[in-house]
Structure 1
Amino acid sequence: MVRSRLQLFFVACLYLSRSSVQAVIFSCRYTAPCGCSRYNANINARIVGGERAPSHSWSWMASLRLNFTSHQCGAIIFSDNFVLTAAHCVRLFASAPSTLSIVIDTDTLNTQEGQRLSLSTISIHPSYNFSTRENDIAILRLSKPIDFNDVNIAKICLPNVSKSEEHRYPIINRSLVAIGWGHMSFNGSMSYTLRQVTVKTIGEKENMCKNSIYNVKLQFCAAVNDSEKDTCQGDSGGPLMYYSEEEQVWVLAGITSYGRGCALSNYAGIYTRVSAYTNWIQSIVDDDGMVTIQQSKANIHIFSILTIFMIIVF
């Protein structure tokens, strides 16, 4: 009887060790002017299809809504009076910005939570192409400044890359994090709570990228080999981010643009390459608290076990 119990104990321990999930905690530099939320990001990289984001760990995430209620797309806080999103999310509302609003300081789609801000202007990139989704980026001016006295709200950092190098960022095969309230599967139900998923950048010559992308200087691909993780409908306009180990902040790499279905094996997700647009963004927002982080190949590495604390959750 004692032997049987011991055998059962060891079997249980073996099962737990094999089913453990590696949780990566990204320590944030709280004195940084951008890219740092109230709570550190905690990401379980093995979760298939993504996972629920810990509360208030992505303080620059916004929900773009129709009349304050119906979630349309994601949006990204990056300055005092402006947010970023995908152009295709707002192209039908450019002449009627007051129809749309953003909701911040919330991890859910509850219509009673968060700060609600209406829009005053919508600036779609002048070279936006609806057919190819090139230049799929828009800047939304808010009707009043964001209240950053709220500890649950922060702005994300933007990349500062030289003109000759901007089409190389983010570097191929780097882990990035996407967040959103998008559908759990193609044409499936939308997630009520904010979710996060880890993907990797893919070279434009890979089949799953070249089958979908139109302009590698303005767009890039990201996916995972098992094709069970991806952004989906409703995630458009949201951020794809990397962690700068050197600065200990999160930097915006891409804006979720489009894909064929969700997590299809032969197709990667396509993202607007933010590094190609920092000058255009600056020309619109001027001096409005936008913060850029100088980038080099050395500080785009993420998920390095040498510098990021890893814990095992049983």
Structure 2
Amino acid sequence: RIQPLNRFGAPSAETGQNVFESVILLSFFLQLLTEASLTSCTMGALIWRILVLCFIASCSQLPVTVAQYLSSCKTPGGDGEPGTCVLVRECPFARALLMKQKHSNNDIRYLEAIRCGMLETKALVCCNAPNITADSSSSSGSIDGLLVDGETIDGLVENRFSTPEEKRGLLPEVCGVDTYRGPIRGELAQLFHFPWNVLIQHRTKDGEHRFHCGGSLISDRYVLTAARCIMGIKKTWTIVSVRVGELNLQTDPDCDDSTAGVTECASPVEDIPIEKITVPSNYTGTGSPAVKQDIALLRLARRVEFSESVAPICLPLNTSNWVGYSTEQDGSFYESGWGKTPDAGGGGDNKWNYVSVGVARELCRDRYPHASIDGEQICAMPWSEQNTCRGDTGGPLMYQSGTDGAWYLMGVGSFRKQCAIVGEPAVYTNVATFTDWIVENLEP
């Protein structure tokens, strides 16, 4: 549980607490505006929120402890992880938290607790994974790691691609090729099965590295996963890398000697650092009963070299590849993963595949009456009962096109009540409704 630092004395009265919380948010919002290069829509939204906060808080000031920019600090909670005192724009997690549409009491306390001083008129925050460029402290600002609706807060990413059509060129021409030719049922995955499966790796406050979510490789530089895998993790955790080429977590490399006594092995797995994170600005958050826009785009720090065990899945950009196909009742899908979730991890060491069937949204709404299931989501459930949770949060819901034979990423695992139970649908973010957003946020 996050506790406020002692240097802030929160009023005991309810009105005073509201003022206190509003000023915390106000100070951060004002800093973002003074450093910003925003779209008119984003600017308008921020200005409106600031006016409301000013009315509540009467634009008062809070004291902060002066600290040296880039000095060492301890992040709040537990023993505290080592961090660096940086500007708000240089801390992706702080900025993502700040840009949420609604802020819980814990959010307010965390924003207050991570403040570690001032640099001139700008707030400094203690960040355990800052994104700092060589000139980040200069007056011209810097390009940050976290994007909001395709725009950075401190400036636009310089991009030679000016139209969505040109940006599509950043996606691979060849995709969705699964070199495994055996049957695909509810079974243990074999070597080279669905080579776009990835695992999202987090670092805990104790320094341990764990896998708590899955994702899908969509190019040699980008992975698609669920926003809850970024925003819904414990505040003492840090997302650090993506693992590609994995099959069994206990073996490296993974090998298969079932073919005529000949042993075949995949390339060793790779853990690739994450360079940038893009989350929709109106993602409603894991605390909301109606989770919306649960999708995130991860830019890797370097390009992935494709192989039989590492390859991208196709995005549903062209509807002609799946025209007439129902994403609801009776539509057949495939899932693959280790059963990883952002809250408890779970799952096993082996990757599994299984068949799912689409569920009508009316039935899905009955199962999740408070979730406001709509066209931005797909519901599906296992074709047959399984004995374990096999799909990952953030992992792929796939469809093989009868037109070109390629595999397409139709859904991103979002949430479910129970896993691997016939009659209990899971909810997935409908990737087809986010392809424009994905393409707009691609960079060379």
1:66 paired with 2:209, answer no
1:144 paired with 2:302, answer yes
1:55 paired with 2:183, answer no
Match of 2:378 in 1: 220
Q: In 2, are the aligned partners of 1:202 and 1:209 still within 8 Å (CA)?
A: no
| Residue number among 231, 244, 261 corresponding to 1:104 in the alignment | 244
1:240 paired with 2:380, answer no
Pairwise CA distance, 1:64: 0.7
The Cα offsets for residues 208-256 of structure 1, whole Å up to 9 and x where unpaired, read as: 5532252321111101465x24984871010000011210110111011
Match of 1:4 in 2: none
- Paired residue type of 1:55: L
More strand, by proportion: 1
Structure 2 spans left out of the alignment, 5+ residues: 1-171, 253-267
The 3-state SS of whatever aligns with 1:146 is coil
The Cα offsets for residues 62-96 of structure 1, whole Å up to 9 and x where unpaired, read as: 01112483111001100121100000001157999
Pairwise CA distance, 1:52: 0.6
1:194 paired with 2:351, answer yes
- Paired residue type of 2:373: N
Q: In 2, are the aligned partners of 1:174 and 1:200 still within 8 Å (CA)?
A: yes
Relative distance call for 1:138 and 1:189 in structure 2 (3 A) is closer
Relative distance call for 1:96 and 1:229 in structure 2 (3 A) is same
1:35 paired with 2:190, answer no
- Paired residue type of 1:146: V
CA–CA distance in structure 1, aligned partners of residues 351 and 357 of structure 2? 20
Match of 2:153 in 1: none
Q: In 2, are the aligned partners of 1:69 and 1:111 still within 8 Å (CA)?
A: no
Q: In 1, are the aligned partners of 2:211 and 2:345 still within 8 Å (CA)?
A: no
Match of 2:217 in 1: 77
CA–CA distance in structure 2, aligned partners of residues 244 and 183 of structure 1? 27
CA–CA distance in structure 2, aligned partners of residues 129 and 218 of structure 1? 13
Q: In 2, are the aligned partners of 1:177 and 1:196 still within 8 Å (CA)?
A: yes
For 1:99-138, list aligned pairs within 5 A. 99-110=239-250, 113-130=268-285, 131=288, 132-138=290-296
| Residue number among 230, 249, 253 corresponding to 1:90 in the alignment | 230
The Cα offsets for residues 131-158 of structure 1, whole Å up to 9 and x where unpaired, read as: 122110000111111112x332111000
Q: In 2, are the aligned partners of 1:176 and 1:240 still within 8 Å (CA)?
A: yes
| Residue number among 411, 414, 420 corresponding to 1:257 in the alignment | 414
The Cα offsets for residues 78-129 of structure 1, whole Å up to 9 and x where unpaired, read as: 0121100000001157999974211101112238550110111111122211
Q: Which moved more, 1:32-41 or 1:83-92?
A: 32-41
CA–CA distance in structure 2, aligned partners of residues 153 and 262 of structure 1? 27
More helix, by proportion: 2
Pairwise CA distance, 1:169: 5.8
The 3-state SS of whatever aligns with 1:285 is coil
Aligned residues with identical type, % of pairs = 28
1:180 paired with 2:321, answer no
Relative distance call for 1:33 and 1:233 in structure 2 (3 A) is closer
Q: Which moved more, 1:96-105 or 1:252-261?
A: 96-105
Relative distance call for 1:93 and 1:101 in structure 2 (3 A) is farther
Greater relative contact order (Cα < 8 A, sep 6+): 1
Pairwise CA distance, 1:264: 4.6
CA–CA distance in structure 1, aligned partners of residues 225 and 297 of structure 2? 7
Q: Alignment length, in residue pairs?
A: 244
CA–CA distance in structure 2, aligned partners of residues 176 and 91 of structure 1? 27
1:274 paired with 2:431, answer yes
CA–CA distance in structure 1, aligned partners of residues 388 and 301 of structure 2? 29
The Cα offsets for residues 183-203 of structure 1, whole Å up to 9 and x where unpaired, read as: 69xx89522110011011111
CA–CA distance in structure 2, aligned partners of residues 224 and 155 of structure 1? 24
The 3-state SS of whatever aligns with 1:89 is helix
The Cα offsets for residues 261-313 of structure 1, whole Å up to 9 and x where unpaired, read as: 22456531101000000000001115x5xxxxxxxxxxxxxxxxxxxxxxxxx
- Paired residue type of 2:201: R
Pairwise CA distance, 1:172: 3.1
- TM-score, structure 1 normalization: 0.68
Relative distance call for 1:77 and 1:176 in structure 2 (3 A) is same
CA–CA distance in structure 2, aligned partners of residues 160 and 142 of structure 1? 22
Q: In 2, are the aligned partners of 1:178 and 1:196 still within 8 Å (CA)?
A: yes
* Superposition CA RMSD, Å: 3.3
Q: In 1, are the aligned partners of 2:400 and 2:407 still within 8 Å (CA)?
A: yes
CA–CA distance in structure 1, aligned partners of residues 313 and 353 of structure 2? 16
Relative distance call for 1:221 and 1:90 in structure 2 (3 A) is same
Relative distance call for 1:123 and 1:233 in structure 2 (3 A) is farther
For 1:279-294, list aligned pairs within 5 A. 279-286=436-443
CA–CA distance in structure 2, aligned partners of residues 216 and 152 of structure 1? 35
Q: In 1, are the aligned partners of 2:278 and 2:298 still within 8 Å (CA)?
A: yes
- Paired residue type of 1:63: L
The 3-state SS of whatever aligns with 2:350 is coil
Structure 1 spans left out of the alignment, 5+ residues: 1-30, 45-49, 289-314
